[in-house]
Structure 1
Amino acid sequence: MTHTVRRTSRTLQVASAGAAALIALSACSSSSGSTASDSGSSATVSGPNGLSGTVTVFAAASLKESFTTLGKEFEEKHPGTEVNFSFGGSDSLAASITGGAPADVFAAASSKTMAIVTAAGNVSSPPATFVRNQLEIATLPGNPDKISSLKDLTKSGLKVVLCDKEVPCGAAAQKALKAGKLTLKPVSYEQDVKGALTKVELKEADAAVVYKTDVHAAGDKVEGVEFPESANAINAYPIALLRDAPNAAAAKAFMALVQSVEGQQVLTEAGFLRP
Structure 2
Amino acid sequence: MPTRTVHRRTMQLVSGCAAAVLALSACSSGSSGSSGSGSPSGSGTSAPAPAPAATASVSGTVTVVAAASLKEAFTAIGAQFEAAHPGTKVVFNFAGSDALAASIVNGAPADVFAAASPATMKTVTDGGDAVGTPATFVRNQLEIATVPGNPRHIASLQDLAPPGLKVVLCAQEVPCGTAAQKALAAGNVQVTPVSYEQDVKAALTKVELREADASLVYRTDVKSAAGKVDGVPFPEASSAVNDYPIATLTHAPNTAGAEAFVALVQSPDGQKVLTDAGFLSA
Q: How does 1:96-111 map to 2 (within 5 A)?
A: 96-111=103-118
The aligned counterpart of 2:266 is: 259
* TM score, norm. by length of structure 1: 0.82
Deviations 1:199-248 (A, max 9, x none): 00000000000000000000110000000000000000000010011001
1:133 aligns with 2:116: no
The aligned counterpart of 2:121 is: 114
Shift of the alpha carbon at 1:249?
Answer: 0.4
Asked if the contact 2:203/2:217 (under 8 Å) is kept, the reply is yes
1:188 aligns with 2:195: yes
The aligned counterpart of 1:200 is: 207
The aligned counterpart of 2:40 is: none
Shift of the alpha carbon at 1:49?
Answer: 6.1
Shift of the alpha carbon at 1:156?
Answer: 2.2
Shift of the alpha carbon at 1:183?
Answer: 1.2
Aligned length: 228
Asked if the contact 1:51/1:80 (under 8 Å) is kept, the reply is no
Larger radius of gyration: 2
Which residue of 67, 75, 90 maps to 1:68? 75
Q: d(CA) in 1 for partners of 2:56 and 2:220?
A: 33
- Counterpart of 1:84 in structure 2: which amino acid? V
Q: How does 1:1-275 map to 2 (within 5 A)?
A: 50-275=57-282
In the alignment, structure 2 segments of 5+ residues that lack a partner are 1-54
RMSD, matched Cα: 0.9
Deviations 1:94-122 (A, max 9, x none): 00000000000000000000001010111
Asked if the contact 2:147/2:229 (under 8 Å) is kept, the reply is yes
Aligned residue for 2:74, secondary structure, equals helix
- Of all paired residues, the percent bearing the same amino acid is 67
- Counterpart of 2:270 in structure 1: which amino acid? G
- Counterpart of 2:242 in structure 1: which amino acid? N
Q: d(CA) in 2 for partners of 1:132 and 1:232?
A: 13
Q: d(CA) in 1 for partners of 2:142 and 2:56?
A: 39
